[in-house]
Amino acid sequence: MDRMKTLEALVSAFGPSGCEGEISRVIEKLAAPFVDEISRDTMGNLICRKKGGGPRVMFSAHMDTIGLVATHIDEKGFVHVGPLGGASAARALYTPVRFQNGTKGLLCADMGADLSKLKAEELVVDIGATDRDEAERLVQVGDAVVYDTPTRMAGNRVISPCLDNRIGCLVLLLAMERLGETDNDLYVVFSTQEEVGCRGAKTAAWAIDPDYGIAVDVRGADDVPGAKHDVTALCGKGAAVNVMDHSVICHPDMVKRLLALAGEQGIPVQRGVSRRGGTDAGPIHQTRAGVYTGGISIPCRYVHTPVELVDLGDVEACAKLAAAFAMSKLDRKL
């Protein structure tokens, strides 16, 4: 699998929360050669299964991204929007954007607005329309919009929109490509609506009823200018094995197993702690009577901006660690 070609296909596919159809179809095509069956549930989760007679192992990487949604079109043709997930006005202002039908525009705000207090719901999209009638021929209330910035390399690091969490999807695709023989019954879930409350993973985990669960997602990086040290992961230092975040305290035996696998296979690894944010691990670990749950994260700078950044060495480390866990000898209980 060509890593960059695959990533470009993933980040260019439309798929904010609630609109994951296009990205789901892209991932389905990429995943099909590596699994025995693929299905979708009512929430739109893409569930890829590699059958086995052993414990059920669920990996989850959300395929939705943050975005904005059209809430009103004014008489001058400006499209007023509100947030889908954690979109920030300060981080998004004057960013090129696109709607699902290809209509492009620019995020802007009232020229007299106090930018220090600007909220996402005060943003508007200038699509070049001269009035409401022209705008309504291009965009409807309820249409979603995403960042339309380019993907580019900076050394061994990639800068792109939508790395949260298309890079996690890439990690699982790379891990699937590496899979050999295993008795484990593997479910690789590309989940929906994580950015608005981890909704897809909740229903997928309930249906699968896994013995083990691992969320694969980005993790805020601590090596950014002015870091407040509320996260611990560093870009370029390997896979982040999650210890805890706002949504989960990972099972200590899962943390121990992931760190041990990394040590045995020479995979660069670091411990990940965050005082904010959450992942699909949150709903997974509380499913039914509880699930042994851990997390593998890709350190990411500038999360939820139009220009997120990750190190490709970390991506490779995460893929190796996910594959190692998938193929490891697991009992029904740790």
Catalytic center residues = 194
Kindly list the distances between the CA atom of residue 97 and the CA atoms of 16, 224, 233, in Å, as whole numbers in the listed order.
12, 25, 30
Question: 163: closest CA among 329, 289, 53, 299?
Answer: 299
Kindly list the distances between the CA atom of residue 215 and the CA atoms of 106, 125, 333, in Å, as whole numbers in the listed order.
34, 34, 19
Distance CA 319, CA 238 (A): 11
Answer for the pair 149, 163: CB distance below 8 angstroms, yes or no: no
What angle is formed at CA 196 by the lines to CA 21 and CA 37, rounded to 5 degrees?
Answer: 40
Q: What 3-state DSSP class applies to 240? A: strand
Question: Running DSSP on this structure, what letter comes out for residue 64?
Answer: -
Give me 17's structure tokens.
Answer: 């929360």
What angle is formed at CA 162 by the lines to CA 291 and CA 69, rounded to 5 degrees?
Answer: 95
Distance CA 105, CA 120 (A): 16
Element counts in the chain: helices (H) and strands (E): 9, 17
Burial of 75 (0-12, 13-18, 19+ CB in 10 A): exposed
Greatest distance between any 2 Cα atoms in the chain: 64
